[in-house]
Amino acid sequence: MILKLNLQIAFLLFLFPLALSSQEPKKNQETKPLTEEEKKKIEKFEDYSSTKGQINVIGSNKDSLKKIPGSATVVSKKFLEETQPVDAMEILRRVPGASIRFQDAAGLTPNIGFRGVSNEESRKTLILEDGILTSLSPYGQPESYYAPQIDRMQRVEIIKGSGSILFGPSTIGGIVNFVTRRPPATPTFSNKSIGGENGYMSNFAQYGGMFGKTGIDVSYLHKQGDGFRDYQGFKLDDVSVKIIHEINEKHSVTFKLGYQVQDAQSTYLGLSQGLFWKNPRINPAAYDRKYLNRNSAVIGHEYTISENTRLITRIYTNNAVRNWQRQDFAYNNLNTFGEPAQPPSDNFATFSPGIIGVRPGDVIYMRNSTPLRNQNFATTGIDVKLETEFKTGELKHEVDAGIRAHLEKNRVSTESVPYPNLKDGFPYSQQDRNAKAYSIYAQDRISLTEKFKIIPGVRYEWIEQGVYNKRRYATNQDVTNRLATKTGDILFVNQGNESYTKILLPGIGTTYDLTDTFTWFTGVHRGFSPPTYGTAVSPTGTDYRLKAETSINYETGLRGDLTNYLYAEVVGYVMYFRDQIINTNEIGGDVGTRPVNSGKSIHRGSENTVTFDFGKFFGWSWNVPLDLIYTYTNAKSLTYTPFPYVTNADGTTQLVNRPAFTLDEKGHLMNNDTNGNQLPYVPMNVYTASLGASHRNGYYIRGEYQYVDRQYSDLTNSPNESTDGNRGIIPAVGLVNASLGYKDPVKKWSIFVTGKNLQDREYVSGRLPIGIQPGPFRQINFGVSFEL
């Protein structure tokens, strides 16, 4: 049987077609054509041999996409080589249905969302590497403080439909799986060096190969830059080791180690309206700094039970320290008499746009204190997956089933630092958090006919979250209870509570092969996103009794090659999102009004991709693909709040401090009823057009234009820009990108140039977390690479 071949033979067979294509066949040589059954066995074997050591979301062979009953995209190695992205957001922004918001240099904190779901620090997007969770705290604090580096990746897989039911916890906002390379058959050393504008430099070195039955792949990445704004420098070092060893015909083991350290002048503080007009490169937060140190390990075992069955077991862990120093600040405001107020008494530096700086909110005062927000993360788990094929009568079944146990711990502490240039302070708050989660899932791909498949599936999640306060400031109630002599004293406490979430997530999809290369698919599934630590339990240890955020997702579409020169994918979807957790806290904050399950929205849209290759159409020696990508997203709020009541998960009703009406900064009555409003940070229209040309001799060139429609920055759809930059329209923007290069097909060296935002447009990328965040300015990079 094919699957019983050892790994060395597997690689030889995998490379055999490539070797044949590089040789001239003998004229008298006759080859017997393969039968359909033999072709399927070879394709299945290639898929198995290329996925040892990892769990794929989609798969590696050409038919993998046909199995997905929903919208899916694969970003290929060829595309990554021709575009040379600095970070993952550069490639994900062109995926149909994606919404991207740039926040810092080099995408150290990516903001990625799909289909109108919030992209805020990617908390609703499940990010994986080789099928393993990458978040520092997937169940409790899924913000993307860490993201896999795109330099190490062989390809990227994206799923937005019902195929996501196999993965979790979050299945609402889409899945992004970064796939690293498998050790090459022949020992190979490669190096890529890039330098460019804004002080950008990177070097990626990689060595790997097969040594008997053991494959080794080691890589080291260093990148640094000055960023696009003042005081936005960063340095990053990333080390990865992958070892795959085949014990015998049935058993193989995998070891994967990762280490990354970031040191970045990263800040939440953006610009006021006046400062952006004056100079969008200004950064008032000169002393803000984020430090991240993360190490990870994965130990895996793969047992090939039979030709049609394999059992994959993964034990994973990661530990991280994320320390973030962010300077306090204030805006210029009016006093009670409507006159300009004096700067704060502890003002350290003043940033004013000049003559228009008299407007309230235009001036930023940087204060003489820089609190440290430190966090320690520890995550571990075990994931077991069974993949099998069998028949019941005339029906063929392809079953994926699995179970996962997951544990995580998180300690949050805040230190008071009296001066911006000091690095240590006195801790005044500490909170310990932990989570336990158990997941079980199953999906059966049933072939009713050779062309028509039905794919039912189900996932169950059980989650326990605990939040325990150990140190905090004293309140008035503490003084009344004689626990403190005055407010502001530091109390050592032991207050905490647990929150529980249990949910069943069914789904079903179908695929129908209209031709051998063109498929119709449809699907419906229930999506889910658990409460985070900040929304599950209050700062004083009270269980908020929140329900999990859920959605019902429907979609249908067509995907595949219509001819050898024309590819198309057309998808339509509707998503009903309910029980959204509305929270006024800043990310990671511990103050604010009570979070409530009061958000509802409906998301409708279409995602369209067409690729026409002029080279194949006219029979040229060049491939000349034209890509046209269009996304339409209409995501509207259904939230109506006539009375400030919420219903808890246990059915009880509670009055909360969330009136239907409030006052704006001018004292005018403002309606909080957002029913019918557009969701923030969701462009209704996104167009991408790119034209490329590549030759088998190694030359390539690509040009691209992308238009992103205007967006709202808040749920009230504020049309006018506030002076502090926190609210208002985010204008539409169109950007031009290009790349060209040469890669020697024999000696494997290459030279390339890439340009992003070639017009050097100054534009608003977003107004989160605080104020206007300018989008990346022009970035032209030059690079060389070689293989030995």
What DSSP line would sit under 710-764, residue for residue?
-B-SSTT---SPPTTSSSS-B--EEEEEEEEEEE-TTT--EEEEEEESTT----E
Token pair for residue 566?
């024309």
Please return the burial class of 771, using the count of CB atoms within 10 Å of its CB with bins 0-12, 13-18 and 19+: buried
Residue position matching structure tokens 């989660």 = 437
What CA–CA distance (Å, rounded) separates 667 from 635? 30
Token pair for residue 167?
């993965």
pLDDT for the residue 693: 98
**Rounded average pLDDT over 68-89:** 93
Apex 666 CA angle, 664 and 668, nearest 5: 60
Q: How many C-beta atoms surround the C-beta of residue 568 within 10 A?
A: 17
Q: How many C-beta atoms surround the C-beta of residue 588 within 10 A?
A: 19
Cβ–Cβ < 8 Å for 600, 547: no
Residues of the chain with CATH 2.40.170.20: 192-328+369-639+674-787
Cβ–Cβ < 8 Å for 102, 766: yes
568 pLDDT higher than 90: yes
| Cβ-based neighbours of 16, under 8 Å, separated by 6 or more | none
* Average pLDDT in the chain: 86
Higher-scoring residue by pLDDT: 231, 478 = 231
What DSSP line would sit under 597-617, residue for residue?
EEEEEEEEEEEEEEEEEHHHH
Of 266, 231, 271, nearest in space to 353 by CA: 271
Coil, strand or helix at 341: coil
Residue 608's DSSP bridge partners are 570, 630
What CA–CA distance (Å, rounded) separates 188 from 786? 10
Please write the tens of the pLDDT for every residue from 40-65.
Answer: 544 444 444 445 545 567 766 667 78
pLDDT for the residue 49: 46
Helix (H) or strand (E) run with residue 37 in it:
helix 36-51
| Cβ-based neighbours of 410, under 8 Å, separated by 6 or more | 136, 137, 140, 141, 375, 376, 377, 378, 432, 433, 434, 533
pLDDT for the residue 56: 66
Q: What is the pTM of this model?
A: 0.88
Q: How many C-beta atoms surround the C-beta of residue 655 within 10 A?
A: 9
Q: How many C-beta atoms surround the C-beta of residue 424 within 10 A?
A: 8
What CA–CA distance (Å, rounded) separates 100 from 122? 9
What CA–CA distance (Å, rounded) separates 752 from 68? 35
19 pLDDT higher than 60: no
Cβ–Cβ < 8 Å for 262, 224: no
Cβ–Cβ < 8 Å for 299, 315: yes
Of 493, 478, 476, 490, nearest in space to 425 by CA: 490
Alpha helices in 510-551 (DSSP H): 533-536
Coil, strand or helix at 480: helix
Tell me the C-alpha to C-alpha distance, in Å, between residue 222 and each of 77, 151, 191, 259, 289: 21, 10, 12, 12, 19
**Lowest mean pLDDT: which of 94-98, 111-115, 467-471?**
467-471
Please write the tens of the pLDDT for every residue from 504-526.
Answer: 999 999 999 999 999 999 999 99
Cβ–Cβ < 8 Å for 385, 398: no
Whole-number CA gyration radius for the chain: 27
**Rounded average pLDDT over 212-226:** 98
Q: Side chain identity at 125, as an amino acid letter?
A: T
643 pLDDT higher than 60: no
Alpha helices in 503-631 (DSSP H): 533-536, 614-618
Quick one: how far is CA 510 from the chain centroid?
A: 27
- CA atoms within a 13 Å half-sphere pointing along the CA-CB vector of 20: 10
Of 66, 67, 89, nearest in space to 75 by CA: 89
- CA atoms within a 13 Å half-sphere pointing along the CA-CB vector of 552: 2
Helix (H) or strand (E) run with residue 60 in it:
none
Beta strands in 425-489 (DSSP E): 426-447, 452-473
586 pLDDT higher than 50: no
Max Cα distance, the chain (Å): 99
**Which CATH entry fits the domain spanning 192-328+369-639+674-787: 3.40.50.300, 2.40.170.20, 1.10.3720.10, 3.40.50.2000?**
2.40.170.20
What CA–CA distance (Å, rounded) separates 358 from 381? 55
Higher-scoring residue by pLDDT: 651, 616 = 616
Tell me the C-alpha to C-alpha distance, in Å, between residue 320 and each of 234, 291, 293, 315, 600: 18, 10, 5, 17, 35
For the chain, helix, strand, coil in percent to 5 are 10, 50, 40
Apex 200 CA angle, 195 and 202, nearest 5: 60
What CA–CA distance (Å, rounded) separates 687 from 525? 28
Report phi then psi at 31, rounded to 5. -120, 135
- Do strands 126-129 and 175-180 pair parallel, antiparallel, or not at all (unpaired)? parallel
- CA atoms within a 13 Å half-sphere pointing along the CA-CB vector of 433: 28
Cβ–Cβ < 8 Å for 767, 774: no
Please write the tens of the pLDDT for every residue from 111-163.
Answer: 999 999 989 899 999 999 999 999 999 999 999 999 999 999 999 999 987 77
What CA–CA distance (Å, rounded) separates 211 from 359? 69
Alpha helices in 117-219 (DSSP H): none
Of 269, 267, 190, nearest in space to 234 by CA: 267
Cβ–Cβ < 8 Å for 427, 415: yes
Of 264, 260, 268, nearest in space to 289 by CA: 264
**Lowest mean pLDDT: which of 88-102, 348-362, 471-485, 533-547?**
533-547
What CA–CA distance (Å, rounded) separates 90 from 108? 12
Question: Residue 275 has what DSSP assignment?
Answer: H
Quote the percentage of the chain above a pLDDT of 70: 84
433 pLDDT higher than 90: yes
Residue 582's DSSP bridge partners are 596
771, 772, 773, 777: CA torsion to nearest 10: -160
Asked if the peptide bond before residue 284 counts as cis, ω within 30 degrees of 0, the response is no
pLDDT for the residue 591: 36
pLDDT for the residue 41: 47
Residue position matching structure tokens 């990661």 = 318
Alpha helices in 257-399 (DSSP H): 273-278
What CA–CA distance (Å, rounded) separates 527 from 575? 9
Please write the tens of the pLDDT for every residue from 272-299.
Answer: 999 999 999 999 999 999 999 999 999 9
Please write the tens of the pLDDT for every residue from 367-417.
Answer: 999 899 999 999 999 999 999 999 999 999 999 999 999 999 999 999 988
Token pair for residue 189?
């050393």
Cβ–Cβ < 8 Å for 457, 445: no
Sheet of strand 72-75: strand arrangement: 72-75, 153-159, 175-180, 126-129, 132-133
**Lowest mean pLDDT: which of 32-41, 64-73, 389-398, 729-738?**
32-41
730 pLDDT higher than 80: yes
What CA–CA distance (Å, rounded) separates 191 from 188? 10
What CA–CA distance (Å, rounded) separates 603 from 557? 16
pLDDT for the residue 251: 97
What CA–CA distance (Å, rounded) separates 96 from 15? 33
What CA–CA distance (Å, rounded) separates 285 from 265? 9
